[in-house]
Structures are given as structure tokens and as C-alpha cells.
């Protein structure tokens, strides 16, 4: 099978983690007999430096032609003083909107080998396996009007019934193949926007009678994530709440560097690790590539229908973690480099193929 993939390294550690993910994709392609057609594009600060725009038209054109896009990270401190519409993050928001990827899946799994890496007690995090489904193209990040006018700033949280319904259906369909439970998160005791959210999600749930639905306020959900994470299967929520909760959930996995994500719509997929650009360690071969590698595995499954290949990559990741090979955020006493982790995953993947 030919896999047409756009690689967008972005800023900071993005280049290092995407290079690691590409190595693993190449190893998987060799093992399973696929052909990779890779192209590369600019986004974020790297794009601003070369083109003046955080999302050049050429990158967007390549993304529209590719079967899927893999991003590294976006953001650089030298651009922090720019107005919002000119900052690197505007490129990320723009490409998500253009690709119409409205559902962001963020799986959070406690790998057995990493139980000691979480700051939470082992008995709390053991067995954690949940997915946060974050609405990605609406809410405060896109709502109009918005702007900064002297001493007054305005942002608008806006959702339509259709926007809520389509992401809710993604969550219920995902739960069907898991433990059949959806938790919808809102702030309906304060926000009219959330009142519509709760109403529409409840209505959608009637089409999925085999899936249990409960509702939580976002502050309660934030507390329960660190008190009883095993209660959750699939969490569905709006854009800003999902952004915050998924970063909080990083403590359950031991490091934010472990978290992959898949952004899906009704067509092309967009994949990225949850972490940021980490400029303090950029270029030092220290970044954790597991989130990017996991994102590449998700890409194979969701965009190309290659579930067996995705499971093979995840199994290889598990074997590497069990062996103790990990970057400093997970194993400071015996820290491996980014490239050493990528090499180990490739060897585990190839070795499993030979054994099979």
C-alpha cells in the first residue's frame, strides 16, 4: 500500500520527534510491505522565519493532497510578543480548520513499566486507559468576535448543534469498541453554551443505547482525573476544556511526552504528540519521542486502516519501555537519547516481525 504522508516538523523539538516517528514508520513499512511517499512542509515559527507566515500556502496545499499529516510541535519564545494572528500557534489552528478535523482523540494509557514515573500513587494510576475526545474547530479558540482593544479583551465561546453532535458521535462510536462508557464534560451550571452542549450530547446518546452516558462539570472532572482515573473510558468535551484536561492527564501517563493524538474529521487526518515545542531542550537529542511515535501508529490505523501495523508499533513501544530504555523525563538515572529510543523501537518492531 502507498502511504502519502506530509511531515511538518514545526518548531523546537518537533524536528527531533518527527524524525524518530519517521524512522519507525519506515521500519513498519519494510516489515509489512508498504511504500512511504513522504513530503515535508513548514509551519509555526519555522515558517514565519522563512516565509513570514505561520501557515504558508504551500504547506496547506501539500496537506490537502496528502493522505495524512504528522506534526512535531509549534511555538517559539521569540514570537511570544507578536499579536495572536501572527504567532506560530495560528498556523496550527489554521491547518486544523482547513483540514476540517473537528475531533481530537487523545489517548491516555498507563504503561505498566512506567507506573513509578507518575507523581501519583501507583494504586491510583495503575490500569488507567482512557481517551479524551476534544472538539477541535469551535469554541473560544475560533469564536467571533474576538480581539484586544486597549484595556478590554474579548473572546467568544460559540457552538452550534451540528458542531456538538458530530464530535459527540465520534465519542460514542469510539466507546462502542472500548468499555462502552462516555463522560461528557461541560460547565452547564454557569454557561449557556454548556447547557446546549449537555442537551445535544444527551440527545445523541439515544442512538447508542449500549453506551452508558454520564455528565460531569469540568472542575469535578479535573479532580476525578487525579483521584480515580479508572472510572473514565471516553471523555468528550469542548475545545478549551479538552486542551486543559488532556494536559492534566499527562501525569497519569508519567510524562506529557508519552501522549499521542489523532485529529479526525470526515476526510484527512492530522496527527501530533500532545507536548509543546520545549525550546529549552531543542536540538539536544533529549526529547521523548514516544508521543510522536504513538501518533504515527494512530495515523496508520485511522487514516490508512492499518490496525495490525498500528498494534505492532504499540507492542514494540511496550517492549522498549519494559526494557528500561527511555528519555530523561521517564528514566533520569539511565536516560536514553531521542535517537536511541527510536532505534530501539525499530529493532523491537523488526525483531517481532522476524520472530513471527
- Decide if 311 is inside a domain: yes
Rounded to whole angstroms, the Cα distance separating 66 from 72 reads: 16
- Strand order of the sheet with strand 212-217? 35-40, 2-10, 68-73, 269-271, 262-264, 103-109, 129-135, 234-237, 181-186, 212-217
In DSSP terms, which residues pair with 152 in a beta bridge? 149
Cross-strand bridge partners of residue 107: 131
Say which of 97, 129, 199, 247 is annotated catalytic: 247
Give the DSSP letter of residue 137. Answer: S
Domain edge (last residue) among 253, 269, 292: 253
318 and 348, same domain (yes or no): yes
- What is the C-alpha to C-alpha distance for residues 337 and 55, in angstroms, rounded to an integer? 30
Active-site residue, selected from the candidate residues 11, 186, 243, 329? 243
Which domain-ending residue is among 253, 271, 298? Answer: 253
Options 90, 109, 170, 187, the catalytic residue: 187
The CATH number covering residue 17 comes to: 3.40.718.10
Determine which one of 102, 141, 208, 271 is catalytic: 141
| 93 and 41 assigned to the same domain | yes
What is the C-alpha to C-alpha distance for residues 284 and 290, in angstroms, rounded to an integer? 16
State yes or no: is 180 an active-site residue. Answer: no
What pLDDT is recorded for position 356?
53
pLDDT along the chain (356 residues), means of 10: 97 98 98 98 97 97 97 94 89 93 96 91 95 96 93 97 98 97 98 98 98 98 97 98 93 93 93 96 97 98 96 97 96 96 97 64
pLDDT of residue 144: 95
Give catalytic status of residue 243 as yes or no.
yes
CA distances, 59 to each of 8, 65, 94, 275 (Å): 8, 10, 11, 22
pLDDT of the residue at 149? 93
pLDDT number for residue 353: 61
Residue 315 falls in the annotated catalytic set: no
Strands 212-217 and 35-40: unpaired
Measured from the Cβ of residue 150, the count of other Cβ atoms closer than 10 Å reads 5
Question: Could you tell me the three cell numbers for 107?
Answer: 489517548
- CB neighbours of residue 28 within 10 Å: 26
* One domain, residues 247 and 284: no
Residues 207-244 as b/e (b if ≥16 CB within 10 A, e otherwise) read: ebeebebebbbbeebbebbbeebeebbbbbbbbbbbbe
187 is catalytic: yes
Of 228, 253, 278, which residue sits at a domain end?
Answer: 253
Q: How far apart are CA 167 and CA 264, in angstroms?
A: 10
pLDDT for position 266: 87
Domain that holds residue 7: 1-102+256-356
Q: What is the pTM of this model?
A: 0.91
Query: Is 170 marked active-site?
Result: no
Amino acid at each position: 500500500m502507498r502511504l502519502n504522508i506530509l511531515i511538518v516538523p514545526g518548531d523546537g523539538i518537533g524536528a527531533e520527534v518527527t524524525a524518530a516517528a519517521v524512522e519507525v514508520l519506515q521500519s513498519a513499512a519494510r516489515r509489512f510491505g508498504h511504500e512511504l511517499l513522504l513530503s515535508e512542509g513548514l509551519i509555526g515559527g519555522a515558517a514565519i522565519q522563512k516565509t513570514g507566515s505561520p501557515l504558508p500556502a504551500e504547506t496547506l496545499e501539500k496537506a490537502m493532497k496528502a493522505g495524512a499529516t504528522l506534526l512535531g510541535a509549534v511555538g517559539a519564545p521569540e514570537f511570544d510578543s507578536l499579536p495572536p494572528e501572527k504567532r506560530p500557534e495560528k498556523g496550527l489552528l489554521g491547518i486544523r480548520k482547513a483540514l476540517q478535523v473537528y475531533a481530537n482523540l487523545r489517548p491516555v494509557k498507563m504503561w505498566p513499566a512506567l507506573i513509578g514515573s507518575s507523581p501519583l500513587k501507583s494504586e491510583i494510576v495503575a490500569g488507567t486507559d482512557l481517551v479524551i475526545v476534544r472538539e477541535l474547530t469551535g469554541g473560544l479558540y475560533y469564536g467571533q468576535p474576538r480581539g484586544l482593544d486597549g484595556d478590554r479583551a474579548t473572546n467568544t465561546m460559540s457552538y452550534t448543534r451540528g458542531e456538538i453532535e458530530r464530535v459527540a458521535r465520534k465519542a460514542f462510536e469510539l466507546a462502542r469498541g472500548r468499555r462502552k462508557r462516555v463522560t461528557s464534560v461541560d460547565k452547564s451550571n454557569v454557561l449557556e453554551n454548556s447547557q446546549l452542549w449537555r442537551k445535544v450530547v444527551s440527545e445523541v446518546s439515544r442512538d447508542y443505547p449500549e453506551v452508558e452516558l454520564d455528565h460531569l462539570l469540568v472542575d469535578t472532572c479535573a479532580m476525578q482525573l487525579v483521584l480515580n482515573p479508572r472510572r473514565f473510558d471516553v471523555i468528550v468535551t469542548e475545545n478549551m476544556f479538552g486542551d486543559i484536561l488532556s494536559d492534566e492527564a499527562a501525569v497519569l501517563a508519567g510524562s506529557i511526552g508519552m501522549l499521542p493524538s489523532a485529529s479526525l474529521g470526515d476526510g484527512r487526518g492530522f496527527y501530533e504528540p500532545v507536548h509543546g515545542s520545549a525550546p529549552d531542550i531543542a536540538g539536544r537529542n533529549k526529547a521523548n519521542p514516544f508521543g510522536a511515535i504513538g501518533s504515527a501508529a494512530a495515523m496508520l490505523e485511522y487514516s490508512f486502516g492499518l490496525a495490525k501495523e498500528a498494534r505492532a508499533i504499540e507492542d514494540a513501544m511496550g517492549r522498549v519501555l519494559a526494557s528500561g530504555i527511555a528519555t530523561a523525563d521517564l528514566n533520569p538515572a539511565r536516560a536514553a537519547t531521542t535517537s536511541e529510543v527510536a532505534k530501539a523501537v525499530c529493532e523491537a518492531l523488526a525483531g517481532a516481525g522476524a520472530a513471527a
